[in-house]
Amino acid sequence: MNIVSVTEKIFTWFGEKITPAFVSASIAGAKGIFRPIFTLSDKKQDKDSRSYAALREGLTEGIAIPVYLMSGQIATAIAKKKAKPDGMSDEQFKKIIFKKEPYDVKKLAGTKFEHATTQDMINLRNNFFKMKGTLSMLGVFASALVIIPALCSLTIKPIMRLAKNASQTSKKENQVATVAPKKQIFKGNPLNNVYSSYSYGMKVGGV
C-alpha cells in the first residue's frame, strides 16, 4: 500500500465521517474551554467583568455544541430521504451507502433494481454523501446566523441577570459581616458608675 493510497483513504474517511456540523461543534467545544480561561486570565479587567464575560462565553459555546450536532443529524436524515430511490428498502440503502467496498448488485435480484450496475451503486453512495455534506454546511450556516443567537438571547440574559443579582447579594452580605458592631462601653456594667465617678467626678485640687 503506497502513500498515495493511504492518503486517499484518510481524506475519504474524513469526507465521510467528519461533517461540517461535527467540525463546528468541536471548535465550539474548544472555544468553550479556552476562551473563558483566557478571559479570566486578563488582569487588565476587574474581577467581576472577567467573571461575567467568561460565564457568557462558556454559556454561548455550551448552547452552540448541541445545536451544531443536531443540525448534522437533521442533514443526514434529509439526505437519506432524498437520496434513497423510490422502492428501495431502508436496509438496502444503508448497506449501499455505508459499505466500503462496491455493493454486490446480485443482492438486488428480484427487486426493482435488479438491473442496476455496480457503478449505479457507487453513484448512489457518492450522491448521498454529497447531499449530506452540503446540507450539513447549510445547517451550520443557519445555526450560526439564526438559531444559536436566538437561543442565546432567550437563555443567557436571564442567567446573567440571576448571576449578577446573586453576586450583588453576596457582596452585601459580606459587607454586613465585615462591619463590626459598635460596642457601648460599660453599658449595663455594674462598674460603670465607679468608672464614671473616677473619670469625671474628681476635680483637680478638690477635696
Q: What is the pLDDT of residues 138-153, one digit of tens each?
A: 999 999 999 999 999 8
Q: What is the pLDDT of residue 198?
A: 43
- Report, as ranges of residue numbers, the positions in the chain whose pLDDT lies below 70: 1, 8, 11-16, 100-101, 167-168, 170-207
Q: What is the pLDDT of residue 200?
A: 45
Query: What 3-state DSSP class applies to 84?
Result: coil
* Residue range 15-34, pLDDT digits in tens: 667 788 989 999 999 999 99
Query: What 3-state DSSP class applies to 17?
Result: helix
The number of C-alpha atoms within 13 Å of 200 and in the hemisphere containing its C-beta is: 5
The number of C-alpha atoms within 13 Å of 117 and in the hemisphere containing its C-beta is: 3
CA proximity to 52, closest of 65, 40, 61, 41: 40
| End-to-end alpha carbon distance in the chain | 120
The Cα 39–Cα 55 span in angstroms is 10
CA proximity to 155, closest of 61, 26, 50: 61
Q: What is the pLDDT of residue 206?
A: 46
